[in-house]
């Protein structure tokens, strides 16, 4: 047996740990003969950690806490990890499970049905979109056009029945000249059926500033109204024992995601989350990356962002655009950050609400990327809050993009934003 590692079998699954558990222990030689996914066991505060995630390196095979350090690609030298386990990690075949959750064993048999090229065919996802304003309507148009290979149908709902009728009529009439039924059908949904889906998409907005009433960052104003509404839908998700993805598109996505997580605790008898933190995702950062690309293309000294740059944090104040991770230039990054953060005001200055790019870049494109297990930008749970970063959803859980050469100055900026969200 390798130093520091224990091997167990439970429900015909292989479990490993670096601490002793009261489980049926087996030898390493026996463990090598297991096929299928491997589960590494951790015990961390469930209010500040996910129940499960995809292990991507020896650094996050066994951890004491979740924090922003998860974005760093470093090697854990405290354990001797056998090569055969490292191979499973490389193939994304190891899932970490937090045994501090009372029902942690459920994670042994649950997985997200992402549609990846390298796994056997998986059924298309069904989506529910709630809130058919400017963003919601544009979003479902994008999903209808782009999601035929991964979305079976889209349920839509709004308190205004005429909006539902309009978008059901309009979207189902979007077709090419030669009939093709490989487009997700849009259905009007009743409230009791909203969570009969694989992904619930929240697009409701209680307040959107009118053109001419310009506020640099309306996040807190929007949060006051939207948090009350999303709390109601969280209660419905909890009552329906929803196991799919709860996707937040309405602003401010990071704070609303945290509201969903905290509210879900209220609907259980033992004060545990009824929605696991890894189920909840916020979609606002995709358009910030797209805006950064737009401005980067306009300057020769910024064009490298298109390949090497990254965006982090919220959709607004606290946003950080890095021109490059390996060769971080603070001056160029500050320029791109400022231009990106105020891009919406440029659209408003010519008399329009800036909702098309957010609905498609943060919404449709990023939601589809999630379903397909592709890299994208979204806010995901890290150590008690939701932080926007590049990540992907795999059958074994969420994988965060990690970085070997992140400068200290960039990391400190990220840490400041991260701490402001806690």
Judgement on whether residues 278 and 315 belong to the same structural domain of the protein: no
**Spatial CA neighbour of 291 closest among 341, 251, 218:** 341
**Domain match, 190 and 142 both:** yes
Verify that 379 and 405 share a domain, yes or no: yes
Exposed e or buried b for every residue in 408-417, given b needs 16+ CB within 10 A?
eebbebbeeb
User: Could you give the CA distance from residue 156 to residue 200 in angstroms, rounded to a whole number?
Assistant: 10
Q: Are residues 267 and 299 in the same domain?
A: no
What whole-number distance in Å separates Cα of residue 233 and Cα of residue 251?
16
CA distance linking residue 324 with residue 304, whole number of Å = 7
Query: Could you list the residue range(s) of the whole structural domain that residue 17 is in?
Result: 6-108
Q: How far apart are CA 320 and CA 171, in angstroms?
A: 36
Per-residue pLDDT of the chain (422 residues; tens, 9 = 90+): 445 799 999 999 999 999 999 999 999 999 999 999 999 999 999 999 999 999 999 999 999 999 999 999 987 667 789 999 999 999 999 999 999 999 999 999 988 899 977 766 679 999 999 999 999 999 999 999 999 999 999 999 999 999 999 999 999 999 999 999 999 999 999 999 999 999 999 999 987 777 767 665 577 788 989 999 999 999 999 999 999 999 999 999 999 999 999 999 987 767 678 999 999 999 999 999 999 999 999 999 999 999 999 999 998 899 999 999 999 999 999 999 999 999 999 999 999 999 999 999 999 999 999 999 999 999 999 999 999 999 999 999 999 999 999 999 999 999 999 999 99
Q: Ramachandran region of residue 380, left (φ > 0), alpha (ψ -120 to 50) or beta? A: beta
**For the domain that residue 241 is a member of, what is the CATH number?**
3.40.50.720
Write 112-121 long-range contacts (CB < 8 A, 24+).
Answer: 112/245, 112/393, 112/394, 112/395, 112/397, 113/198, 113/395, 114/370, 114/371, 114/372, 114/373, 114/393, 114/394, 114/395, 115/149, 115/150, 115/371, 115/372, 115/373, 116/372, 116/373, 116/394, 116/395, 119/395
Task: Say yes or no: 140 and 265 in one domain.
Answer: yes
Are 52 and 147 in a shared domain? Answer: no
3-class DSSP string for 67-125: CHHHHECCCCCCCCCCHHHHHHHHCCCEEEEECCCCCHHHHHCCCCCCCCCCCCCCCCE
Q: Per the domain annotation, does 119 fall within a domain?
A: no
Q: What is the model's pLDDT at position 227? A: 97
Point out the domain boundary residue: 282, 315, 339: 282
Do 362 and 299 share a domain, yes or no? yes
Q: Which two tokens stand for residue 342?
A: 């105020």
134, 237: one domain: yes
β partners of residue 378: 389
What dihedral angle (degrees, nearest 10) is formed by the CA atoms of 419, 317, 325, 401? 60
Q: Which of 108, 142, 177 is the last residue of a domain?
A: 108
pTM of the predicted model as reported, rounded to 2 decimal places: 0.96
Phi-psi group of 161: left, alpha or beta (phi > 0 → left; psi -120 to 50 → alpha; rest → beta): alpha
Are 271 and 294 part of one and the same domain?
A: no
Nearest 5°: CA angle at 194, between 399 and 112?
A: 20
Q: Contact, 269 vs 102, CB < 8 A?
A: no
> In terms of domains, do 276 and 290 share one?
no
The 10 Å Cβ neighbour count of residue 169 is 11
My answer on whether 143 and 263 are in the same domain is yes
Query: Is residue 42 domain-shared with residue 91, that is, in the same domain?
Result: yes
Taking the C-alpha atoms of residue 271 and residue 224, their distance in angstroms, rounded to an integer, is: 24
- Tokens coding 95: 């899932």
233, 260, 282: which is the final residue of a domain?
282
How is residue 85 written in tokens?
A: 């386990």
Question: Is 82 a member of any domain?
Answer: yes
């Amino acid at each position: 047996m390798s130093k520091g590692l224990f091997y167990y079998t439970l429900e015909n699954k292989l479990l490993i740990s670096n601490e002793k558990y009261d489980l049926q222990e087996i030898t390493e030689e026996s463990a090598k003969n297991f096929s299928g996914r491997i589960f590494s066991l951790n015990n961390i505060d469930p209010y500040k950690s996910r129940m499960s995630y995809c292990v991507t390196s020896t650094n996050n095979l066994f951890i004491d806490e979740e924090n922003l350090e998860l974005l760093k690609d470093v090697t854990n030298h405290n354990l001797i990890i056998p090569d055969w386990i490292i191979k499973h990690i490389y193939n994304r075949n190891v899932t970490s499970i937090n045994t501090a959750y009372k029902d942690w064993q459920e994670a042994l048999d649950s997985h997200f049905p992402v549609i990846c090229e390298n796994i056997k065919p998986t059924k298309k996802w069904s989506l529910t979109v709630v809130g058919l304003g400017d963003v919601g309507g544009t979003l479902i148009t994008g999903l209808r056009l782009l999601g035929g290979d991964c979305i079976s149908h889209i349920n839509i709902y709004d308190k205004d029945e005429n909006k539902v009728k309009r978008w059901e009529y309009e979207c189902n009439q979007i077709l090419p000249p030669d009939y093709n039924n490989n487009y997700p059908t849009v259905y009007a949904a009743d409230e009791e059926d909203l969570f009969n889906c694989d992904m619930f998409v929240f697009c409701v907005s209680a307040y959107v500033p009118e053109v001419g009433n310009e506020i640099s960052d309306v996040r807190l104003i929007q949060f006051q109204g939207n948090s009350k509404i999303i709390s109601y839908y969280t209660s419905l998700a909890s009552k329906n024992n929803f196991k799919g993805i709860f996707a937040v598109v309405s602003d401010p996505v990071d704070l609303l995601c945290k509201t969903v997580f905290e509210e879900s605790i209220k609907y259980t008898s033992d004060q545990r989350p009824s929605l696991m933190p890894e189920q909840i995702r916020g979609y606002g950062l995709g358009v910030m990356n797209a805006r950064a690309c737009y401005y980067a293309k306009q300057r020769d000294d910024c064009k490298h962002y298109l390949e090497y740059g990254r965006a982090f944090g919220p959709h607004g104040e606290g946003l950080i655009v890095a021109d490059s991770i390996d060769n971080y230039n603070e001056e160029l990054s500050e320029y791109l950050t400022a231009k990106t953060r105020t891009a919406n005001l440029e659209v408003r200055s010519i008399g329009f609400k800036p909702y098309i790019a957010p609905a498609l870049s943060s919404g449709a494109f990023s939601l589809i990327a999630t379903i397909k297990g592709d890299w994208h930008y979204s806010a995901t749970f890290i150590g008690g809050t939701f932080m926007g970063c590049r990540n992907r959803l795999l059958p074994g859980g969420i994988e965060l993009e990690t970085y070997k050469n992140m400068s200290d100055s960039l990391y400190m900026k990220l840490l400041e934003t991260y701490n402001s969200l806690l």
